[in-house]
Amino acid sequence: MQRYVARRLVQAVFVLVGISVVAFALTHVIGDPVVLLLPFQASQAQVIAMQHMLGLDQPLPVQYLRFARAALHGDFGISVRQNTPALSLVLDRVPATAELASAALVIAVGVAVPLGIAAALRRRTIIDRGALLFSLVGQSMPTFWLGLQAILVFGVVLRWFPTGGIGGLRHLVLPAVVLGVFSAAGILRLTRSAMLDIISEDYLRTARAKGLREVAVVGRHALRNASLPIVTWIGLELGTLMGGAVVTETVFAWPGMGRLAVQAIFARDIPVVQAAVLFAATIFVLATLLTDLLYVWLDPRIHYS
């Protein structure tokens, strides 16, 4: 088991290096940040001076090596726009992003899994059809529209919640629900179909024949076996959400990593883009590793060597 984890971690390093090269190349291809920092009246001499100050006049491989060497020491450079260390900018956003991502995921799982199970157990009833409708609508509705409607109804008209920004629990509700709806829709579908696959298995019939109550049949046997794909999906969702949810963050003025990364791209703020991309990639890699390790606990037949 330890060998497996070690191997995965080594693979992760290669993945991250590859991602950093791609991110670096792409951000450089789309232009340099200097012209976005200076007003139109800036002279050519100024543009050149600033490019030199930021080290942008060096050949690309030299720039990348400089970046890589510094990154190994945890130094991702200074944000071109904000003049503060890029990594600290990203890490500052982590709590807010984590708060929104976990709240959204909790809501999504809390709604979708029970509903998915219910839909599978009560196939073709109104519960089932309602669940499928919810899933369809949830996946089709654009987040910004849902978000703005939520702000209008609950923030402006009813005044139950603030219209945006970060603060206490009340500030978290609307963005987490809006973000959670989309996740929920996917998880619900998956839970329902995973359960349906299992429902007619022989071992369930045996369990019922043994006299087990339905709750135990579903909870201990069916769900446990259906859980692998569900857990996989949730793990991926967590990774994705931790990378930031740009649209939700923009609509609700939530200071998360998604918005930071997108703004950095628009501003060609290369150090911040690098830091954000690598951070999100690391989280994703860890999330998938944890998911794989979770399998061992869920299904004793699985073991790694």
Enumerate residues 63-82 that contact another protein by CB under 8 A: 78, 81-82
Residue with smaller CB distance to another protein, 150 or 278: 150
Which range in 59-67, 68-76, 258-266, 292-300 contacts another protein by CB under 8 A?
258-266
- Restricted to residues 74-133, the positions that interact with another protein (CB under 8 A) are 78, 81-85, 89, 92-93, 107, 110-111, 114-115, 117-118, 121-122, 127
Choice from 190, 207, 218, 275 touching another protein (CB under 8 A): 218
- For the CB of residue 121, give the shortest distance to another protein in the complex, in Å: 5
- For the CB of residue 211, give the shortest distance to another protein in the complex, in Å: 15
32 near another protein, rule: CB under 8 A? yes
- For the CB of residue 210, give the shortest distance to another protein in the complex, in Å: 17
Choice from 268, 270, 279, 283 touching another protein (CB under 8 A): 268
Residue 136 to residues 53, 139, 182, 191, 281: CA-CA distances in angstroms? 52, 5, 10, 14, 29
d(CA 50, CA 30): 18
Helix (H) or strand (E) holding 12: helix 2-29
Choice from 17, 60, 62, 152 touching another protein (CB under 8 A): 152
What are the DSSP calls for 171-207, one per residue?
Answer: HHHHHHHHHHHHHHHHHHHHHHHHHHHHHT-HHHHHH
Which range in 59-67, 164-172, 225-233, 273-281 contacts another protein by CB under 8 A?
164-172
d(CA 184, CA 155): 23
47 near another protein, rule: CB under 8 A? yes
29 near another protein, rule: CB under 8 A? no
Spell out a b/e string for 210-231, using b for 16 or more CB atoms within 10 Å of the CB, else e.
eeeeeeebbeebbbebbbbebb
Q: How many binding residues for another protein (CB under 8 A)?
A: 73
Q: How many angstroms from the chain centroid is the CA of residue 230?
A: 16
- Restricted to residues 173-202, the positions that interact with another protein (CB under 8 A) are 173, 177
d(CA 7, CA 128): 43
Q: Give the bridge partners for 85, in sequence order.
A: 78
Choice from 63, 102, 139, 163 touching another protein (CB under 8 A): 163
Which sign, positive or negative, has the C-alpha torsion 163, 164, 169, 173? positive
Residue with smaller CB distance to another protein, 29 or 72: 29
31 near another protein, rule: CB under 8 A? yes
